[in-house]
């Protein structure tokens, strides 16, 4: 949605997604499946790419951390950190969560288990190369202070800052027991710790250090990730970048979890929602819309299929769908000239909407868009165009159709398929954000199928 919004503004966009494939968890799962790690990952990647296509996700590049180009870039990255004097050899002894690929101290464990996922941890003792994370404690705190938007949303920043203030321990950067990983350039008997390897995908995908994409798109405007991996992105990642002399991203935004009855979705609990099943039943656009309308982006939210159906029936079918249907039906019958004075311009504030999107307030942005949909519907009800004729009807139809055209543009990042259907019925070409102002209506309305069908 963010990528589509910025494209709508005419900006160059690089939207990266992909798979983090190395580490003990993958190595163990592949062995259990009787497969080599690469073969195992190849099959999973096909599943992800297929799902992203069905979910209409418009990424520009899909990176795999097992890509040769990525592995080579990680090696160069580690060598830069070593040249900064930030790597030394030692022994690691402590607790390790295989599921999260994370290290924990005795004090951090919760009831003897991983404080993040609640799964058992195991005691690890092995030779390791360490990264001097502690060296960057003050610089991190200074960066957070000077760039308050870096840790987003704001309510998550306090926990990170307090943990950093409590003191940083140096990071175990390599493993000797894990073979499925990027070889450590200074000692091939070691592999790079998966989180140092995985994080660098954001830069290697841009053909760092001399690639055209790196020069154009780095530092990234935003990294999006779930809240349980905020620490790696908000602390370890910028510290590694500082060491290598690379500027950190402008924003780290950690979103919440979708829960069911207040519990995190999990395969073991059997309470997960299959998005592919949801889009089969309701369509991609209504599903995406419902997710973003349920709670402010960044918070946890409880998923309810019942709530999604209510939004589909009321907001999409009864409000947006009905507006388009009334506008096109009346316009198709009208034989006069569709022109007049803009009477709905005050109901729309594009600058405020853009500001909400810049802040990643997708919930607020949709509220803003649908307040315009409601204002337009109120205008239709108040003017009662079905009772009018001639120039008066032409004026009301002008406002209805221009508002509908603008709404189509605004909902495109959220509901691209819906936007295309609206444009087809209005008889207009897809517009940009710059076109979200009242002008001469140049379309040829022709009624089509109902855009949203109500669900019983």
**What is the average per-residue pLDDT within 371-398?**
97
Alpha carbons 368 and 318: distance in angstroms, whole number = 18
181 and 197 in contact (C-beta within 8 Å)?
A: yes
- DSSP output for 279-305: HHHH-HHHHHHHHHHHS-BTB-EE--H
- CATH code of residue 149: 3.40.50.620
Q: What percent of the chain has pLDDT over 90?
A: 85
| pLDDT tens digit sequence for 325-334 | 999 999 999 9
Q: Are residues 94 and 159 in the same domain?
A: yes
Q: Are residues 385 and 328 in the same domain?
A: yes
Residue 240's pLDDT band, with cuts at 50, 70 and 90, is very high
**What is the average per-residue pLDDT within 155-166?**
96
* 444 is a domain residue: no
Q: Are residues 202 and 99 in the same domain?
A: yes
Q: b/e for 344-369, b at 16 or more Cβ within 10 A?
A: beeebeeeebbebbebbbbbbbbebb
Helix-then-strand count for the chain, H and E = 19, 14
Q: Are residues 208 and 344 in the same domain?
A: no
Q: Is 91 helix (H, G, I), strand (E, B) or coil?
A: strand
* 292 is a domain residue: yes
187 and 216 in contact (C-beta within 8 Å)?
A: no
- The CB-based long-range contact list for 309-313 (8 Å cut-off, 24+ gap) reads 309/282, 309/455, 311/286, 312/282, 312/286, 312/452, 312/454, 312/455, 313/454, 313/455
* 408 is a domain residue: yes
**What is the average per-residue pLDDT within 332-359?**
96
Residue 117's pLDDT band, with cuts at 50, 70 and 90, is confident
Tally of domains within the chain: 2
Q: Are residues 184 and 82 in the same domain?
A: yes
- Tell whether the model's pLDDT for residue 105 goes beyond 80: no
DSSP classification of residue 113: B
- CATH code of residue 361: 1.10.730.10
* 156 is a domain residue: yes
* 261 is a domain residue: no
Alpha carbons 44 and 65: distance in angstroms, whole number = 13
Residue 400 sits in which domain range? Answer: 284-435
**What is the average per-residue pLDDT within 320-328?**
98
Mean pLDDT in the chain? Answer: 94
Q: Are residues 238 and 303 in the same domain?
A: no
| Total-model pTM | 0.91
- DSSP output for 224-260: EEEGGGHHIIIIIHHHHHHHHT-PPPS-EEEE--EEE
* 107 is a domain residue: yes
**What is the average per-residue pLDDT within 27-48?**
96
Residue 268's pLDDT band, with cuts at 50, 70 and 90, is confident
378: which 2 tokens? Answer: 């109120």
Residue 116's pLDDT band, with cuts at 50, 70 and 90, is confident
């Amino acid at each position: 949605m963010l990528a589509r919004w910025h494209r709508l503004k005419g900006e160059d966009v690089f939207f990266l997604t992909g798979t983090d494939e190395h580490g003990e968890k993958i190595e163990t799962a592949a062995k259990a499946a009787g497969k080599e790690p690469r073969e195992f990952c190849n099959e999973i990647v096909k599943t992800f790419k297929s799902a992203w296509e069905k979910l209409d996700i418009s990424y520009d590049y899909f990176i795999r951390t097992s890509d040769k180009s990525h592995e080579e870039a990680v090696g160069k990255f580690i060598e830069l950190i070593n040249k900064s004097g930030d790597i030394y050899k030692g022994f690691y002894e402590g607790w390790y969560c295989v599921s999260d690929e994370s290290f924990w101290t005795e004090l951090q464990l919760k009831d003897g288990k991983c404080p993040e996922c609640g799964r058992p941890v195991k005691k690890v003792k092995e030779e390791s190369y360490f990264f001097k994370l502690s060296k960057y404690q003050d610089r991190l705190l200074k960066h957070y202070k000077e760039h308050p938007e870096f840790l987003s949303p704001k309510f998550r920043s306090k926990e990170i800052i307090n943990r950093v203030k409590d003191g940083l321990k140096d990071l175990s950067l390599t493993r000797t027991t894990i073979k499925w990983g990027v070889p450590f350039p200074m000692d091939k008997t070691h592999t790079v710790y998966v989180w140092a390897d995985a994080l660098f995908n954001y830069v290697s995908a841009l053909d760092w250090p001399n690639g055209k994409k790196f020069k154009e798109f780095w530092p990234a405007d935003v990294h999006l990730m779930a809240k349980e991996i905020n620490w790696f992105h908000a602390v370890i990642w910028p510290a590694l970048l500082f060491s290598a002399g690379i500027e950190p991203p402008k924003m780290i935004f950690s979103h919440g979890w979708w829960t069911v009855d207040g519990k995190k979705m999990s395969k073991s609990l059997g309470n997960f929602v299959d998005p592919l099943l949801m889009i089969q039943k309701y369509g991609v656009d209504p599903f995406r819309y419902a997710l973003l309308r349920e709670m402010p982006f960044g918070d946890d939210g409880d998923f309810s299929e019942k709530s999604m159906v209510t939004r589909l029936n009321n907001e999409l079918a009864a409000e947006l769908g009905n507006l388009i249907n009334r506008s096109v039906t009346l316009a198709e019958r009208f034989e006069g000239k569709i022109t007049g004075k803009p009477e709905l311009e005050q109901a729309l504030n594009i600058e405020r909407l853009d500001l909400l999107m810049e802040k990643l307030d997708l919930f607020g942005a949709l509220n803003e868009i649908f307040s315009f949909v409601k204002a337009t519907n109120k205008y239709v009800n108040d003017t009662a165009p079905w009772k009018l004729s001639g120039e008066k009807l032409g004026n009301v139809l002008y406002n209805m159709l221009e508002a509908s055209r603008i709404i189509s543009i605004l909902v495109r990042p959220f509901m691209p398929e819906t936007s295309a259907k609206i444009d087809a019925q209005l008889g207009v070409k897809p517009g940009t954000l710059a076109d979200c102002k009242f002008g001469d209506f140049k379309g040829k309305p022709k009624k089509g199928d109902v855009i949203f069908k109500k669900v019983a």
